[in-house]
Amino acid sequence: MTNNPKGLSEYFANDPPSFFDELTNPKPREPQSEPEVNKPKTNMLASTFTGRYQPPEYVETADDAEEPIKVNDEVRNLWPSPAEQGKTGTGAPTHLVMPGLHIANDLGYGRSGQPAKHSPHSLQLWFTRLALLAKLGEYELLQAEAEPFGQLNALDVFYEFYPEMYSGKQGSIASFSFRLLLSEMPIYLGKPHLALDNLSKLHVISSEIKQHYEKSRNGNASEFWQRRSERVLHSIINCALMMKKYSMIDDIMGGMLLTRSSLSKEEQRSLYSAWGRIYLQIGDIFGAEQKFAVARRLREINTAPDLRDLVDKGLIAVANNDFPEAYLIFQKALHLDSGNTMILNNMGVCLLYAGKLKDAINLYERAINLNPQKSLNESLLVNLSTLYELESNNSKVKKLNLLRLINRFKPDLNISVEICLKLQATN
């Protein structure tokens, strides 16, 4: 550690305004309704940047009310540092070499390819970028850019590594969500077994931290970590789904996720409903009905079936090969939430299986006309393109029309346009 704080400040003082500054800029608000905008801001905003050195700061949400459990930074950042685990044997930790081009230029200002240090801010930016890449389905790029981070087990993503910067502060600079994203990444690349390994490690550590707080009787913190470990379990289930390990899903669902006493009824319902859908996928209608029934019973007594109940019921009808019935149920659900794309999408599928191709196409086209932004999603596009191909030899013209709409309303699909519109098809 030869760098001194001065060197670091120079490094950040040269930061030009970047694309990410805008991204992290909270939406402009009316001063009278939001008095806190007058408070001194610590954000690295291009507008507030006056040339004076500002310490690199983590951009926080102005409104933290949506956080279900409030904990302090110490609890949030707790993570076993590799030094504690006795992994220092490899010598001095390697500084990360900034990968990629765009962001490295922003951050390093022409220092791309040179060693750089991490800060909460830089890691937050990295997480943002990598998460957005995942969202956009740019998995190859994501893999390349995430590669230097490994599983965030290097010493330099911990506060302890920079005593001169963060005196006394301990824990991980990289957020838990960042760790989760890197662990999950192999799922996107079609290697769920690798992701499963990563996620299992993540789950073990988060459970240990949870137990640590449980022992020290810090109820809030243990609940906080409990939820994190549950979030990891969700990802493990997603791996298991890809690997078709259905008994593992059963064990996790019944034995771990549904055992927490503080689960709200709505949370339980959504878990049971998801569980039922997993059963449906393997053809266990009886099992699915049982899970859906539990979800239904957890609803407030004397209330009408809600969207979830109706969708569950509709999917059961589909599994029973009763597409006209399923259509009617989805139609009922649409009355509860008109314009719901998922339901419109499912209604179209039912129409086709009931022998009503034209009606299905009309339904989708109407949905797109009513709300192009919402309706032009990946699954509806694939379905509509499939219908166009089945209908006639003129599907190309119609797909071209869809392409125009996508260009206008929805440029960032997370599956490539070629796949969504089935452009590889021969007609």
Partner 1 sequence: MNTVETEQHLLALKVMRLTRPTLVGFGPIVTCEPKDLPQSFNRVVENDGIARTCAEALGAGQTMLLPQSFGNIYLGETFSSYICVHNCTTHPVEGVTVKVDLQSNTSRINLLMHENKKTSVVLSPEETLDDVIRYEVKEIGTHILVCEVNYTTPAGFAQSLRKFFKFQVLKPLDVKTKFYNAEMDEIYLEATIQNVTTGPFCLEKVELDSSEQYTVTSLNTLPNGESVFTAKNMLQPNNSCVFLYCIKPKADIAKDIKALREANNVGKLDIVWRSNFGEEGRLQTSQLQRLPFEYKDLRLEVIDAENIVKIGSIFTFQCRVTNTAEHAMKLHVSLETKVSADCAYTGSADFLLDTLRPGEVKEFPLSICPTKLGLVKISPLLLTDTLKNEQYYINKVVDVFVVDADYHQDGTFLLNKLIRYENPIESLMQKQVQLQVV
State which of residues 284, 331, 403, 423 lies at the interface with partner 1 (CB under 8 A): 284
- Residues numbered 384 to 403 that lie near partner 1 (CB under 8 A) are 386-387, 389-394
283/179 Cα distance (integer angstroms): 35
423/159 Cα distance (integer angstroms): 50
The distance of closest approach from Cβ of residue 284 to partner 1 in the complex, given in angstroms and rounded to an integer, is 4
- Residues numbered 236 to 255 that lie near partner 1 (CB under 8 A) are 237-238, 241, 244, 246-247, 250
State which of residues 155, 328, 405, 415 lies at the interface with partner 1 (CB under 8 A): 415
211/188 Cα distance (integer angstroms): 31
The distance of closest approach from Cβ of residue 336 to partner 1 in the complex, given in angstroms and rounded to an integer, is 10
If one asks whether residue 263 binds partner 1 (CB under 8 A), the answer comes out as yes
The distance of closest approach from Cβ of residue 201 to partner 1 in the complex, given in angstroms and rounded to an integer, is 18
154/156 Cα distance (integer angstroms): 6
If one asks whether residue 72 binds partner 1 (CB under 8 A), the answer comes out as no
Question: Which residue lies nearer to partner 1 by CB, 8 or 213?
Answer: 213
If one asks whether residue 17 binds partner 1 (CB under 8 A), the answer comes out as no
144/162 Cα distance (integer angstroms): 27
If one asks whether residue 291 binds partner 1 (CB under 8 A), the answer comes out as no
Cα dihedral value 383, 338, 267, 318, nearest 10: -40
Q: Which residues neighbour 294 within 8 Å (Cβ) at sequence distance 6 or greater?
A: 272
Question: Which residue lies nearer to partner 1 by CB, 150 or 324?
Answer: 324
- Residues numbered 148 to 207 that lie near partner 1 (CB under 8 A) are 175-178, 180-181, 188
**Taking Cα atoms as reference points, which of 126, 110, 156, 6 lies closest to residue 59?**
126
How far, in Å, are 340, 373, 375, 376 from residue 370 at the CA level? 11, 9, 8, 11
The distance of closest approach from Cβ of residue 194 to partner 1 in the complex, given in angstroms and rounded to an integer, is 16
288/313 Cα distance (integer angstroms): 10
The distance of closest approach from Cβ of residue 115 to partner 1 in the complex, given in angstroms and rounded to an integer, is 25
**Taking Cα atoms as reference points, which of 339, 318, 342, 341 lies closest to residue 328?**
318
Question: Which residue lies nearer to partner 1 by CB, 70 or 408?
Answer: 70
User: Which among 46-54, 78-86, 144-152, 317-325 is the span making contact with partner 1, rule CB under 8 A?
Assistant: 317-325
Residue whose token pair is 């709200």: 264
State which of residues 298, 374, 405, 423 lies at the interface with partner 1 (CB under 8 A): 374
Q: Over the Cα atoms of the chain, what is R_g? A: 25
If one asks whether residue 340 binds partner 1 (CB under 8 A), the answer comes out as yes
State which of residues 121, 308, 398, 410 lies at the interface with partner 1 (CB under 8 A): 308
Question: Which amino acid, one-letter code, is at 64?
Answer: D
User: Which among 194-202, 307-315, 362-370, 399-407 is the span making contact with partner 1, rule CB under 8 A?
Assistant: 307-315
DSSP collapsed to 3 states, 6-47: HHHHHHHHCCCCCHHHHHHCCCCCCCCCCHHHHCCCCCCCCC
The distance of closest approach from Cβ of residue 90 to partner 1 in the complex, given in angstroms and rounded to an integer, is 29
- Residues numbered 107 to 146 that lie near partner 1 (CB under 8 A) are 124, 127-128, 131, 134-135, 137
15/46 Cα distance (integer angstroms): 10
160 sits in which H/E element: none
State which of residues 155, 248, 285, 405 lies at the interface with partner 1 (CB under 8 A): 285
State which of residues 194, 256, 294, 342 lies at the interface with partner 1 (CB under 8 A): 342
**Taking Cα atoms as reference points, which of 365, 415, 352, 369 lies closest to residue 137?**
415
State which of residues 121, 273, 363, 399 lies at the interface with partner 1 (CB under 8 A): 273
State which of residues 354, 403, 405, 417 lies at the interface with partner 1 (CB under 8 A): 354
Q: How many residues bind partner 1 (CB under 8 A)?
A: 95
